[in-house]
Structure 1
Amino acid sequence: MGLSRGGGNRFSATIWPGFVDAMTALLMVMMFVLTIFLLVQSVLRDQITTQDSELDQLGQQVAELSDALSTSQAQAVSLDRDLAAERERLRRSEQAVAAARGEIDAQAEAARLAAARRRGAGGADRDLRRQNTETQQQLDETEAARLADAAAAEALRERLERSGAELDAATLELEAARKQAEETLTLLAAAEAAKQELGEQAKAQAGEAEKQAALLALARKTLSEQEALSAEDQRRLAALNQQVARLNDQLGSLRAVLDAAGDERREADLRAQDLGRQLNVALLRAAEEERKRRALEEEARTKAEAEAKDLARYRSEFFGRLSQILEGREGVQVVGDRFVFSSEVLFAPGEAVLSDAGRTQIARVAGMLNEISADIPPQIGWMIRVDGHTDNVPLSGLGRYRDNWELSQARALAVVRYMTDELGFPADRLAPAGFADTRPVAPGDTPEARAQNRRIELKLTER
């Protein structure tokens, strides 16, 4: 025990300095990471501030270019209006010159005609010269006005050409300004994207810094807990050394037990393999038995279907012959797969003793059944069910039978006993049943309906 405690103390003395060094290195690394993060965050903040100022300057430039563009557009609109006015004025001047020329030509033609009429008169010459002089003066004035208009038009054309050149220059300047504005907007969009990216990076780095701070706090907490628990760990380590020694002893015992258990397990595996083989054989046998059982069931089903078909054929033949024999007889009729005797034909009211007429009809039916039964193969399980039925009038209970149940059963039993005892019909082919008034064939309480419900039915069926 003393040796174990000494070994535990040496182990603790060896581990503790390494643990302290590792924690110190971890703290230094975390401090270095935090310092780098703060520096990167400061640089990013400066870059974001610089880009914000550049964005403001670009915005001002865009505003100035927009103002210049608006001014150039206003000048272009003014020049367009002046150009339209000068063109209208030139058109009116040309129209006036054309009108004056037409008037002068008309006056000259009139003077020529007047001169022809007044030829030879001196006064006419003077008038003609005077008129020519006035006409020449008018022509000079008109020509002067036309020349002035032409000069004005030429000046206007020169002004228009200068205006067009200025307009082209303004257009080029506007196009250059527009391109510069587009480039500026592109730069603004790139700067905005860079700003957003830097903001996201700053947020991510801030989150990483928070994580690092949390890890640092956790490491500090863990370090303090480790320092607080070091003495307790040494005590626990000594106790653990003692437990390890005891566990080693127990482990030796367990190994011996496991060896013995291994032998038993191998034997169990062998037994399990043997049982598996036996189970496979049993499963094969069960599958074979199941196959045979299904084959037998299929054979029995086929046989039963064949017997049912044969029985249906014999039933049809049986009821066909009975229909021919009983045709026109009162109190007896064939209904579906059974023939019905009226109780008034077979029994007296309230009695269960066959009358002579009833014995005659039952004997005739029994003879027909014997003839048909000889043709029915013995493997077909057929039988005649004799059903007794009464009306819904209750018995008084003072007679031999308490109610309609006993009366219907007694009448069916009387028919069966007569067929077996006196006619020699096989007893295993007959079955009496009494139904009282539970299965009427005619609803209502009239005498006719009650007479129809009092009946004896013979039905050829399967066992």
Structure 2
Amino acid sequence: MALRRRSGQRFEANAWPGFVDAMTALLLVLMFVLSIFMIVQFILSDVITGQDSELTELGEQVADLSEALGLERARAANLGQQVRELGNQRDAQATLIATLNRRTEQLDARVASFEEQVAGLLSRNADLEGALSGAQDTIAAITDERSALETALATARTEIDEAAEQARLAAARREALQGLLDEMRTEAATRETSLARTLAALETSEGQTADLTARVDELEGALSEEEAARLAEAAAAQALQNRLAEAETRLSDEEAARLTEAAAAEALRARLQDADAELTAMTLALEEQRRAAEETLTLLAAAESASDDLDARLALALAERDEALAGRDSAQDETESLNARLAEALSRLERVESDASSRTEAEARIAQLEAELAALRRDAGSSEEVQARLASALADRLALEAANDDLRDELANALANQARSQEQAASALTAQQRADALLSTAREELARTEGAREEARREAALLNRQVAELRAQLGELNGLLEASEARDAENRVEITALGSRLNTALAQAAAEERRARELEEAERRRLEQEAERLERYASEFFGQLREVLGDREGVEIVGDRFVFSSEVLFDPGAAQLRPEGRAQVAQVADVILDVADEIPPGIDWVLRVDGHTDDIPLNPGARYADNWELSQARALSVVRFMTDELGVPPSRLAPTGFAEFRPVAFGDTAEARARNRRIELKLTER
């Protein structure tokens, strides 16, 4: 029994050192785990801080890129506005060119018409110059004849003074004078024919023919009046000299017209200078646009260089991102490897736990291995140390397997200490749970880090897309600028061509204006002459009408018109001429026919027959619907009577009806309405 007591004391004394060793090992494991946790937390905090700073930098870069993108979009909008303005200017220039082309065609047509008129006027001028030359020759011949007549008159005077002394020679002188008179008659007939041709060509020499005829008649009447005949010849010569003076005056007028043309040419030169100034202004404007385009190209080049800089910075950021992703992948690989090794270690631990005799030491070793595993999980970058520790764990496992036999011997002691071992196992499980919690926290931190990296990748992709869009917009802007430069070149060529065409058109316009002024001046002179002649014939026409109709009742002369009362010509409400009206219209037609023979064919005259009524409406059911039809029917009745029965040419008559809308007397009295019912005749030009 003493031996048993000693043996039990020995066993009880040996249990305490193992417990102390286990507690020491557990404390060491806890300290090691805490140190590993602190180190891993410090490393992760540093990594997170660095990633936050990187994200801040990336955010600043994104803001810079967004600002650059806004600037580029604003520049693109400005360039688009400039392109639209250039397009509008091109359209305006095309419209101007089309307008100038149409105007040039119109001017060409007018020039052709004016050239034809000028050709006709030049031909007429040549005829007039030929007639003037013939008239000058005739004047010279008349001057020679006058000298011969003066000589003959002097001889006749001498002969008349010596008549008393030379009575026997009187008969011979009479015969000589009779022969001379016959010769003068022949010469006078010849001169009359020549002067008739000359006066017909000049259209204004009729008075001269009458003077010469009178002079010849006076010479034929009596030789005693030879002095008076000489004076008549002198008067005729003076008339011819006056006509020559008129011709010189006309030449002076032509010289004034030439001076007017010179002034017009000077004004045209001023207009050409103004056109040159406008072309210069247009050229300057195009040059300004070209400079603006060059500045735009410079800005685009700067934007492209900035885009290249951004591309480089983005490439650097992407490289750093790729490196971070590679580091993350390597860390993931190492984590997976550690997980695999952990699983293997756990399987080995399970096999060790099957051995109940070594449970205490195995659980202690498990706690130590789990602590080391937690440390290994937190320290993903130290792979070599993990491998060393795993190798150490494998060696320990082998040592444990070798010590299994020894542990079987100490099974009894282990059963005695089972309760304490279970408590230690519970505490070890609590430590393992804490390690698992720390591991889950680290994994959450890693997941957040991965989320931040994924967001950074998305932002980088967005930046890449924005940069690609910027490059596409820059390409489009470059294309638009190239197209704009091509259009500018085409516009410059068109402006050059337009300037040459404009100079040609201005020169043609100047020539056309000069010809137009010449033609207008000639036409004005012709119209003035025709108006004077028509006025003269109209005066003659109205003078004869005054002699014929001036004292008749119902006929009134108002200015250049003859006014017939409708009561004299027509019955009330009718348009058929009464017999008294026919007689008065027949007298007017006789005067027209007499005067028409004297009016030259070049005057396009016409006799207007205007019908007027009062303001009283016609009765319902009347032959004519209103006063318009009645006034037109009365004017047409007068015209048809003059053409059908009196032989007046229809082309010289113009019937017109004015109804009650051109009264000569205002009011509702019977006298005023009677004055408004009338037929007016007026000789005018078509």
- Could you tell me the TM-score, scaled by structure 2's length? 0.29
Query: Larger % of helix: which?
Result: 2
- Could you tell me the TM-score, scaled by structure 1's length? 0.42
